[in-house]
Structure 1
Amino acid sequence: MGQSTEELRSEIEQTRQSMTADVDALQDRVSPSAIVERRKQAARSRVQGVRDKVMGSAHGVSSSASGTAGSARDSAGGAVDSVKGTAQGAVSGAQDKVQGAPLAAGLVAFGAGMIVSALIPASEKEAVAAGHVVDAAKEHGQPVVDQARSVAQDVADSVKGTAAEAAQEVKDTATDSADKVRSEGQSGVDEVRSQTRS
């Protein structure tokens, strides 16, 4: 009992302050609003990082990613280190190729989206909706198809009739011309014969 009352009070006050700080930190850590705020901030920073990478100004993000990767590498085992290093190298190489090229990044994202959408099977609602669209297209498209067939048949008949008439005219003209040439040729022959006899 070598401590005085003042020393005990001072220790109790320090313990109380320490516990208050710990309780406040714990409360902040498990508070739903604080959790949501931390998640929002993390999402914002990820989006900002991607935007910086795509638009070409990613120096700060690269250095923070390198620092995070370095600390992760220091704390992990040897096999995990090599896998992380390989994956990081691949990601870094892809980021370097896409950095500053928003069109290329957009095309890559579009292609990745197409691949992912092809891998995900259609839901029942999507299949039903697609069936309704096909049925509606058949229902509304059939009169148009029938009308197009009718118009095409009318055009074909008209062209066929016109072509037959034109062919007959050409045939008649050719026959008339042949007769005229024959008669003129015959009269020419007759004239030459009469001139030779005289």
Structure 2
Amino acid sequence: MGQSTEELNTEIAQTRQSMTANVDALQDRVSPAAIVERRKEAARGRVRGVRDKVMGTVHGIGSSASGTGSSSVGSPLGAVDSVKGTAQGAVSGTQDRVAGTPLAAGLVAFGAGMIVSALIPASEKEAVAAGHVVDAAKEHGQPVVDQARSMAQDVVENVKETATGAVAEVKDTAADSAAKVKSESQSGVDEVRSQTQS
């Protein structure tokens, strides 16, 4: 037949909590700060993946060497085996590290080449060629910089429009939810009043 006052109050409180949670979740989902943070974390993950692919990862060299050394300390033959195992572990660990770091080896070689070239004075032809390269870089680089700047401005404008729309949508949803809760509360109160008067 009818619901008691306590049941109505409980139902209204549950509806209010549910709507509050939904509005909070929606606001977190469309908030510009949350969107930016999700994008930054995705970019960091991609950079870490590329870095690990290019540079390789360090494996447990120390643990394999110490495990081999501590396992056979008792006898002279064990000591020889220990030294042999430690040496093999160090060699395989070094191979793992070098196999994953071709970029690092290339950067070291490039840096060494730059240092050596800085010690040798440049000839006139090299100075003229360097001047031409700098002029060409300035000439061809400026349009790229301008294009990148305009693209960045377009992205910023798009993000602003999206964020503004999302904020307006959250406000509308919150206002609608508040109106709905208010009307449900009022109808519940009216029903309770009518039941108590009856």
TM-score w.r.t. structure 2 length?
A: 0.41
Larger radius of gyration: 1
